[in-house]
A and B are shown apart, each in its own frame.
Chain A
């Protein structure tokens, strides 16, 4: 675990000194191969994780480390081509490209820390760091829209996260007063969970859910999300949507586990179902009427967060398995879509979906990838999102929450229809006459193919190692 932090930080340092975007891109990609390998190693060591005292590793954190490592790896791949191209084109300077890599690495490092630290207070700090670092990446292009989005992002998330801190303070008050514990280390708190004051824990959890929920993009606290996702540098949009939202979800999960131990499962599960459904309904509506390609994808992220939260709320082994599989599947597919959208944007110079036409003919490779991606994103078999959505539906009906599950299904169907409608229009049709066909860089292709294959494979079979990862995480959540 220490290794991961060291690699990301040293890459950030490297980016301070090297000025060539090409070299940096390749170094970055190599670095993240190492990080990914370390994450795999961590996952492969089985149940006995031996880590330094500052860190903590159980099934849950290892699962999230793996997810973050996967998405940051492909993003590093894609960034190398994307940034080099931007520098050659002259849209950003070489110095700015180096800055991009510094921020990129700090951002990833903060996300890794979030899911690895032992102390819940420091977890809060790490999440706040992700906001602060990524705010610069959202406002990277320094246009009016980008700065507005960054400001909105940083202010809304800071307020949200301050509410979460308030929750943690209240939480700590019961930990200190009723359990006599003088720290916020996770394993210690789990040991004393039963002695905490239930009322205080309930109030604290409400604040924490709303606070971290803001960062996780749960509606109705999602208002920063479409702006930030649509204005950020495209590879960063993939990171924001693919994993950043889920690291906050991780924080919520940690506290919900303790809350469950203390006050029983009904409390958190009702809250999760409620917020999950609100997110689904809101996002399904906005997806339907959306005109802007990247905003469409951002709203689809809210939809998927809604699905995951709903699944966590239904609880029970099936729904939890579905929710975690969904986290993994969404983390694999969303980058594909954002990378594809980035290439489209570069080619067409617009995000307006009424103007973009005929991607399949103008960008053959990207077109095909996007076609597959949109079906995967909407939840078509054989991709994994289909499987996870079905698991949650089945679990929902089995647990007897018929109305909630019916709303859930309706929203998914609506979102699927509008996604395919929008993408059908922009993918096919006639391309503009003056446009020539173009292909992707090698590393970008590798990233695309890797992700789609991954989503496909965990969709049809969920190979042993992957299933292990999820099951271990569920064990932690189920207590």
Chain B
């Protein structure tokens, strides 16, 4: 799924793939909840569904429509090369997991490597795409990766922390969205590669 994002050229495509990724995260958490029969995990899964699958993509779409941004993402690196880079990042995260990070369980380490890879690709999207909105999505992808890794290595964070992080994610997306509005209003574009006033 993550690979789709790397090749995605259009904003709408990117948002939908983010939604799908979050949906998988939701499924995973739900599976864990069923397995462990913990009420806490059910709540977390529900929150993932509401916040990440529903609210955030909707909000992003709303912002994208309001500012009528040009659909094209503005790539620093073309899709093919990006895909290779993503493959490289995946390899690196597997290497890191198996060489450096000792985990007993085979499945656990595989999912940890996967989550690390998702996080790295999120970072990649943030760096190599020019639009402010894509940076938000990159950030959210990183966050998804983190949730996956938390689920992989320790069956999720403590409940209170998890809830607080959720609220935080929601607030940060909204605030970032507000800033995208402002950037758009002031600069009449949201191309962050052209924000170059401040130097030295």
Q: Do A and B truly interact?
A: yes
Interface residues of A (CB under 8 A from B): 119, 121-122, 124-125, 128-129, 132, 135-136, 139, 142-145, 147-152, 154-155, 158-159, 162, 165-166, 169-170, 172-173, 175-177, 182-184, 197, 199-200, 203, 226-227, 230-231, 286, 289-292, 295
Chain B residues with CB below 8 A from A286, complex form: 200
- Which residue of A151, A203, A291 contacts B100 across the interface (Cβ within 8 Å)? A203
Across the interface, name the chain A residue whose C-beta is closest to B171.
A132
Residues from 159 to 200 in B contacting A, C-beta threshold 8 Å: 160-161, 164-165, 167-168, 171-172, 175-176, 179, 182-183, 186-187, 192, 195, 197-198, 200
Residues from 133 to 165 in B contacting A, C-beta threshold 8 Å: 135, 139, 142-143, 146, 149-150, 153-155, 157-158, 160-161, 164-165
11 contacts across the A-B interface (CB closer than 8 A): A121-B164, A144-B186, A151-B132, A151-B179, A151-B192, A166-B119, A169-B150, A176-B154, A176-B155, A177-B153, A231-B198
The answer to whether A139 and B197 touch across the interface, beta carbons within 8 angstroms, is no
Across the interface, name the chain A residue whose C-beta is closest to B172.
A132
The answer to whether B172 and A122 touch across the interface, beta carbons within 8 angstroms, is no
Q: Bound state CA distance, A173 and B101, in angstroms? A: 11
* Any A CB within 8 A of the CB of B123: yes
Residues from 108 to 133 in B contacting A, C-beta threshold 8 Å: 119, 123, 126, 132
Min Cβ gap A120→B in Å is 8
The answer to whether B197 and A165 touch across the interface, beta carbons within 8 angstroms, is no
Q: Bound state CA distance, A188 and B140, in angstroms? A: 31
The answer to whether A172 and B154 touch across the interface, beta carbons within 8 angstroms, is yes
Chain A residues with CB below 8 A from B158, complex form: 119, 121, 172, 182-184
The answer to whether A147 and B182 touch across the interface, beta carbons within 8 angstroms, is yes
- Which residue of B179, B192, B198 contacts A227 across the interface (Cβ within 8 Å)? B198
Per DSSP, are chain A's interface residues mostly helix, strand or loop, or mixed? helix
Pick the most buried of B149, B154, B171, B183: most chain A CB atoms within 10 A of its CB.
B154
The answer to whether B179 and A135 touch across the interface, beta carbons within 8 angstroms, is yes
Min Cβ gap A418→B in Å is 14
Across the interface, name the chain B residue whose C-beta is closest to A121.
B161
Q: Bound state CA distance, A291 and B198, in angstroms? A: 13
Chain A residues with CB below 8 A from B186, complex form: 142-144, 147
Chain A residues with CB below 8 A from B198, complex form: 145, 148-149, 152, 226-227, 230-231
Q: Bound state CA distance, A295 and B153, in angstroms? A: 43
Q: Known: A121-B158, A158-B172, A176-B154. Is A200-B197 also a contact (CB below 8 A)?
A: no
What total of chain B residues lie within 8 Å of the partner, measured CB to CB? 39
Across the interface, name the chain A residue whose C-beta is closest to B196.
A148
The answer to whether B168 and A169 touch across the interface, beta carbons within 8 angstroms, is no
Chain A residues with CB below 8 A from B155, complex form: 176
Across the interface, name the chain A residue whose C-beta is closest to B148.
A169
Chain B residues with CB below 8 A from A227, complex form: 198
Which 9 A/B pairs are nearest by Cβ-Cβ distance?
A121-B161, A173-B153, A176-B154, A125-B164, A173-B154, A227-B198, A148-B195, A169-B150, A183-B158
The answer to whether B179 and A139 touch across the interface, beta carbons within 8 angstroms, is yes
The answer to whether A159 and B197 touch across the interface, beta carbons within 8 angstroms, is no
Chain B residues with CB below 8 A from A173, complex form: 153-154
The answer to whether A159 and B200 touch across the interface, beta carbons within 8 angstroms, is no
Q: Known: A125-B161, A151-B179. Is A169-B172 also a contact (CB below 8 A)?
A: no
Q: Bound state CA distance, A144 and B164, in angstroms? A: 32
Per DSSP, are chain B's interface residues mostly helix, strand or loop, or mixed? helix
The answer to whether A121 and B146 touch across the interface, beta carbons within 8 angstroms, is no
Chain A residues with CB below 8 A from B161, complex form: 119, 121-122, 124-125, 184
Min Cβ gap A320→B in Å is 30
The answer to whether B179 and A162 touch across the interface, beta carbons within 8 angstroms, is no
Across the interface, name the chain A residue whose C-beta is closest to B158.
A183
Not counting A147-B182, A166-B146, A169-B150, a sample of 15 additional A-B residue pairs whose C-beta atoms are within 8 angstroms of each other reads A119-B158, A142-B182, A152-B195, A154-B179, A155-B135, A159-B142, A165-B146, A165-B165, A166-B119, A166-B149, A169-B157, A177-B154, A182-B158, A199-B101, A226-B198
Q: Known: A166-B146, A166-B149. Is A151-B123 also a contact (CB below 8 A)?
A: no
Min Cβ gap A192→B in Å is 14
Chain B residues with CB below 8 A from A121, complex form: 157-158, 160-161, 164-165
Across the interface, name the chain A residue whose C-beta is closest to B151.
A169
Min Cβ gap B115→A in Å is 9
Q: Bound state CA distance, A226 and B199, in angstroms? A: 9
Chain A residues with CB below 8 A from B168, complex form: 125, 128-129, 132
The answer to whether A295 and B154 touch across the interface, beta carbons within 8 angstroms, is no
The answer to whether A150 and B179 touch across the interface, beta carbons within 8 angstroms, is yes
Across the interface, name the chain B residue whose C-beta is closest to A227.
B198
Q: Bound state CA distance, A25 and B179, in angstroms? A: 27
Chain B residues with CB below 8 A from A158, complex form: 139, 172
The answer to whether B157 and A172 touch across the interface, beta carbons within 8 angstroms, is yes
The answer to whether B164 and A122 touch across the interface, beta carbons within 8 angstroms, is yes
Across the interface, name the chain A residue whose C-beta is closest to B161.
A121
Kindly supply a per-residue 1/0 record for chain B positions 49-84, scoring 1 wherever the CB is within 8 Å of any chain A CB and 0 otherwise: 000000000000000000000000000000000000
- Which residue of A132, A169, A184 contacts B175 across the interface (Cβ within 8 Å)? A132
Pick the most buried of B158, B164, B183: most chain A CB atoms within 10 A of its CB.
B158
Across the interface, name the chain B residue whose C-beta is closest to A153.
B179
Q: Bound state CA distance, A286 and B200, in angstroms? A: 7
Q: Bound state CA distance, A176 and B161, in angstroms? A: 14
Q: Bound state CA distance, A230 and B198, in angstroms? A: 10
The answer to whether A203 and B139 touch across the interface, beta carbons within 8 angstroms, is no
Chain B residues with CB below 8 A from A132, complex form: 168, 171-172, 175
Pick the most buried of A150, A159, A292: most chain B CB atoms within 10 A of its CB.
A159
Q: Bound state CA distance, A286 and B157, in angstroms? A: 41
Across the interface, name the chain B residue whose C-beta is closest to A181.
B158
Q: Bound state CA distance, A227 and B157, in angstroms? A: 34
The answer to whether B139 and A172 touch across the interface, beta carbons within 8 angstroms, is no
Q: Bound state CA distance, A184 and B135, in angstroms? A: 30
Across the interface, name the chain A residue whose C-beta is closest to B183.
A147
The answer to whether A295 and B200 touch across the interface, beta carbons within 8 angstroms, is yes
Min Cβ gap A22→B in Å is 29
Chain A residues with CB below 8 A from B146, complex form: 162, 165-166, 169
